[in-house]
Structure 1
Amino acid sequence: MSTHPGLTDTPLTEDLLRGALHVERTERGVLPHRLPARARAQNTDGQLAMAESQPSGVRIALRTRATVVELDTLPTKRVYAGTPRRPDGVYDLLVDGRLADQAVVTGGNTLTIDMAAGSAEVRPGPAGTLRFSGLPAHLKDVEIWLPHNETTELIALRTDAPVEPAPDRGRAVWLHHGSSISHGSDAAGPTTTWPALAAALGGVELVNLGLAGGALLDPFTARALRDTPADRISLKIGINLVNTDLMRLRAFAPAVHGFLDTIREGHPTTPLLVVSPLLCPIHEDTPGPSAPDLSALGAGKLNFRAAGDPAETAAGKLTLSVIRSELARIVEQRAAEDPHLHHLDGRELYGEADHAELPLPDSLHPDAATHRRIGERFAELAFHSGGPLAVPPAGTPGGAGG
């Protein structure tokens, strides 16, 4: 029994969660992960470990008559040394698919990142509680979308009426992989990242493997994509390879082929869309790595610059222009034998005219308004009739539930 009057505890089990590939049992509760345990065991990168544990696209999905829902969580909040504190992560409450409320949880652990020194420190903090009340008393589907940018350990769920897992709505599952922009970067909340917006507009169920700083063609990520059930798949490739200056052109094309080969082992005929980078002026023709602008940090602002030399492209260093050209070539080559493989130039989602109107605030990441534009564009280009990921109506051949 719950110690909260009038409320009953419901165990937080995997069947109540959507969008996570693994749910880790902890001493206090459960921790959703967006990479499976085997992939995490093969990873040695702290940035990727942080990103995959941030539950972008992960939601608690219930059917209930409850009018009150409480959730205890332990968030981990990021602080960048020398810059203003980031806003608390937002929890979005959806009732029958519509945004009904939002809340935050204060407290929690604090991860302080010093970009100038290249260090990070975690300080433990207390768990917190969010409460949604005044919900309609009829039987309804309730979703709590977890903060896309805060690692969130789930400790307890309480309601004033019984709950059960939300039923399968028969919608096609869209599996997406990309960088911090796909992860959510500076979106206003978890249902307004561009993939979440595109999924809502396209009428599909999102599994978001957007991994901030981690879209690096890692074989373990390819295997995770291969092994995850999906009706539609998209891959946004490029910006993180330049950010990290990870590889040269000689390695890039074979790595893309290998990544696609692995996914096709599990999804041989699933519609698969390869998306090249959005416009990012600092790296269009200048290689990485990306580096924090220390002068901006000194003024309390986070901004990035390209630290490479354009002349180094002759030696095979990657730029966004080089990557776009190579991805178009690779997809055209493979599509001759793979009619379900498609390509989208990322500048159709965010290009020069968009940048003139909505510049990237830190020179790398879009703001909330730009996330909305990208999501709307992707839904129109990919999911609507005639698009490469278009979903036929349920019950028709190739449709959800068909």
Structure 2
Amino acid sequence: MHTDSLITTPLTPGFLRGALDVERTAHGLLPHRLPAWARAQNTDGQLAMAESQPSGVRLAFLTRATTVELDVLPTKRVYTGAPPRPDGVYELLVDGRPVGQATAEGGHTLTVDMTAGTFAFTQGAPATLRFSGLPAGPKEVQIWLPHNETTELVALRADAPAEPAPAPDRPVWLHHGSSISHGSDAAGPTSTWPALAASLSGVELVNLGLGGSALLDPFVARTLRDTPADLISVKIGINLVNTDVMRLRAFTPAVHGFLDTIREGHPSTPLLVISPILCPIHEDTPGPSLPDLSALAEGRIRFAAAGDPAERAAGKLTLGVIRDELARIVAQRAADDPHLHYLDGRGLYGEADAVELPLPDALHPDAATHRRMGERFAALAFGPDAAFAPGTARA
């Protein structure tokens, strides 16, 4: 229940960073990470769910308030036969420093049956988040929304006026990838590996990591083309294997087309192509990835590779095949594109890491691995002489 003495500030798109579109719903504002025209070209429910989950999206406002309330309407996922997922985390920062966390009870529920491939939606009610004891005086407040829960923003209240914060004067890093870039099992929205790398490197993140949906879709390429950015990275591979949607014959021209489209809007922006991190089940075995039914029977989610290594001869993709081809494509193009770079994803998570920090469900990194990947990416991509070294950013 909110406090009557607090001041209600109408929420507008100007309060949001990291969203490419904002939909006004019956309840409030729904951030999107793909524009409306791109969403209209999509027919896949997985992508629709992923792009509406606000990974990297945050409210940013100036205020003297010491108490802030935010009414939200989340959509939570429930997987049939698996333990309940933890509620999404909202993180509040004051002048860039973490101050508080909260979770929202209730909300809508999306029940996913992975064995049947079905979705069921149940409506719920909004919840109120309250952050109190904030430092006195003028400050910038950010509230990072859960990276893995669709979140409608209903109302903002505080004990002092609030206004949208101006855009920061730092490079914008635009990143696209799979559920690993989306955040998978990170501890919270500021500790997904892209968010952590951005914080360590002093850049402004726009995260187009789309769980299960990094599939070289042309409308995603056009979105990257049309989005203002100083630095761009694309992490390509794992979803093409675990959905088994493409063969090598189609993969190579699709990658060229994806990069060509990005270059139409960003002809000289530093562009980093990142190959997949290590994923032992798909290094040499094609997809698709399917739920491990024995694990589901034990109440656990785990995946297994359903392909046959012999199918590589017919052009089926594995992570090893994709890494080799991406390295070749980038080397070929870099002869005429000095701002194009390649990073082997095993530099972020490789064989030694898999021994120390195995992927819990055989596909997705845990919270500790996200932190390691973020720290490594900051060093490998933003360090001296790296693709995104200070001074390399250009519009």
What does residue 395 of structure 1 align with? Answer: none
SS across alignment from 1:136? coil
Q: Does 1:64 align with 2:63?
A: yes
Give the aligned partner of residue 87 of structure 1.
86
Structure 1 residue aligned with 2:124:
125
CA distance in 2, matches of 1:360, 1:90: 22
Amino acid in the other structure paired with 1:5? D
Contact kept, 8 Å, 2:231 with 2:393, in 1: the verdict is no
| Distance across 1 between alignment mates of 2:145 and 2:15 | 13
Deviates more, 1:202-211 or 1:162-171: 162-171
* 1:237 corresponds to 2:254: no
Look up the equivalent residue of 2:351 and give its one-letter code.
Answer: E
Report % sequence identity: 75
* AA at the equivalent of 1:362: D
Deviation larger for 72-81 or 162-171: 162-171
Give the match for residue 311 of structure 2. Answer: 312
**In the TM superposition, what are the counterparts of 1:252-331 in structure 2 within 5 Å?**
252-331=251-330
- 1:128-139 to structure 2, matched below 5 A, reads 128-139=127-138
Q: Name the counterpart of 1:76.
A: 75
Query: Matches of 1:128 and 1:69 in 2, distance apart?
Result: 14
| 8 A Cα contact 2:73 2:152, kept in partner | yes
> 1:141: which partner in 2?
140
Check conservation: 1:278, 1:346, Cα contact below 8 A: yes
SS in 1 for 2:312: helix
Q: Give the deviation of 1:284 after TM superposition.
A: 0.2
What are structure 2's unaligned runs of at least 5 residues?
A: none
Task: Report the secondary structure of 1:191's partner residue.
Answer: helix
Q: State the Cα distance separating 1:162 from its structure 2 match.
A: 1.0
Give how far 1:391 is off: 2.7
Q: Is the 8 A contact 1:234 1:275 kept in 2?
A: yes
Where do residues 367-378 of structure 1 align in structure 2 (5 Å cutoff)?
Answer: 367-378=366-377
Partners in 1 of 2:393 and 2:99 — Cα distance? 29
Where does residue 18 of structure 2 map in the other structure? Answer: 19
Give the CA deviation at 1:168. Answer: 2.5
- Tell me the distance in 2 between the aligned counterparts of 1:76 and 1:391: 39
| Alpha-carbon distance change, 21 to 265 in structure 1, aligned in 2, over 3 angstroms | same
One-letter amino acid of the structure 2 residue matched with residue 21 of structure 1: L
Counterpart position of 2:205: 206
SS in 1 for 2:190: coil
Q: Which amino acid aligns with 2:62?
A: R
**Aligned amino acid, residue 80 of structure 2:** A
The SS at the match of 1:222 is helix
8 A contact 1:286–1:319 mirrored in 2: yes
Counterpart residue number, 2:149: 150
Q: How many residues matched? A: 395
Give the alignment's TM-score, normalised by structure 1: 0.97
Question: Does residue 49 of the first structure (1) align with residue 48 of the second (2)?
Answer: yes
Per the TM alignment, residue 390 of structure 1 is displaced from its structure 2 partner at its CA by: 1.6
CA contact (8 A) 2:2 2:128 kept: no
Cα deviation, 1:335-375, whole Å, max 9, x if unaligned, reads 00000000000000000001010000000000000000000
Is the 1:172–1:391 Cα contact (8 Å) retained in structure 2?
no
Q: Are the aligned partners of 2:269 and 2:393 in contact in 1 as well (CA < 8 Å)?
A: no
